[in-house]
Structure 1
Amino acid sequence: MIDNVRLSQQAKGHLMSLKRRTGIPQWNTLSRWGLATSLADESPPLVRDVVADSNVEMSWRTFAGQYGDVYLALLKQRCAAEGGDPADPAAISHTLMVHLHRGIGRLAGLQDLRDITDLIALALNPHPHPVDRDPDDDEGTRR
C-alpha cells in the first residue's frame, strides 16, 4: 500500500541532529519513534501538506521493519479518525507524512533527548516532561 517514505529537508535536518544527540545511526529507527510520538497525540497535526524535498528516502519495508502490518493498521485507524478514507492509499500516505513529520519535529525539539533511554522515558511518560533529570547535575543523572 505504501511503497516509499520520503522526508522533507527540514525533517532530514532534524534527523541528523537526533542522530548526533542520541547516537542512534539509522534514519528508519528515529523515524519510527517520530511516527509513534505523533500518533500518541490524539490531536490532528496542524500541518496538512508536507513537501518531501530531501534526498532521504526509504522503502516502506525499511521504514516499518517487521512491524509493517502494525504501523499500517495504526495509520489506517488514524486516517479514519481524522476523516480520511482508510481504503485510499493516498489518504494513508498523507496520514503517514503529516504524523511522521510532526513526530520528528517534536523529538528534535526535545533538547534533553540524549539517548535511547530518553526515548523510552518519553514513551512511558509522554506528559509533561519526557525525561526527569536533576537540573543541578551537568552529567544528566536521572533522579
Structure 2
Amino acid sequence: MQHIDIIRLSEKQKQQLITLKRKTGIENWNVLCRWALCKSLADPTIPPKEDIPSDSNVEMSWRTFSGEHSEIYLSICKTAFKSQKVENDFLKFLKCHISRGISLLLKEDKFMN
C-alpha cells in the first residue's frame, strides 16, 4: 500500500467545498474533507470508480488532512481499502471517498438551507 504525502483536489471538488464553506462557515478545507471522507466511509456501498483530476490549487499534506488523529484515520482508511477490494491505488480510493462524501454533504438539508 502506497504512502500518502499530498492530497490534491479537483476543480469540481474545490467549487463544491467553496459552497460547503459558505453554507457551514467552516473555513478549512481539511476539516470539510475529513467530514466528507467519514460521511462516505459510513455508507456501506462502494463509491463510484472515477478518475479524479488534481487540477485545482487545493492541496494538503496527509498530516494536515488527518490532523492530530492521523493514525486513526489511516487505520480506518486501510481497513476500508482492504475490505472493499475495488481499487488497487490507495490514493485513488481516498479521492473517490472524499469526492462522494463532498457530494453527500452537499445534499444534506442542514447544509443547503
Q: Give the TM-score, by structure 2 length.
A: 0.89
Give the counterpart of 1:7 among 9, 23, 47: 9
* Contact 1:35/1:100, CA 8 A, preserved across alignment: yes
Distance 2:49 2:95 in 1: 10
1:110 corresponds in structure 2 to 108
Q: Which has the higher contact order (CA 8 A, sep 6+)?
A: 2
Report SS of the residue matched to 2:47: coil
Query: Any conservation in 2 of the 1:12–1:56 contact (CA below 8 Å)?
Result: yes
Match of 2:35 among 27, 33, 36: 33
* 2:25 maps to which of 23, 26, 50: 23
1:73-92 mapped onto 2 (5 Å cutoff): 73-83=75-85, 91-92=89-90
**Rg: which structure is higher?**
1
Match of 2:110, SS?
coil
Cα separation, 1, equivalents of 2:96 and 2:103: 11
**2:95 aligned partner:** 97
Match for residue 49 of structure 1? 51
Give the ranges of 4+ consecutive aligned residues of structure 1 lying more than 3 Å apart after TM superposition.
Answer: none
How many residue pairs are counted as aligned between the two chains? 111
Residue 53 of structure 1: how far off its partner (Å): 1.2
- Counterparts of 2:104 and 2:51, CA distance in 1: 17
Query: Identity across aligned pairs (percent)?
Result: 41
Mark the runs of 5 or more structure 1 residues left unpaired by the alignment: 115-139
Q: Which amino acid aligns with 2:59?
A: E
Residue deviations 1:6-26 (CA, integer Å, cap 9, x gap): 111111011000000000111
Q: Distance in 2 between matches of 1:110 and 1:9?
A: 21
Please report the TM-score for the alignment, with normalisation by the length of structure 1. Answer: 0.71
Q: CA RMSD in A?
A: 1.8
- Measured in 2, the distance between the counterparts of 1:15 and 1:111 equals 16
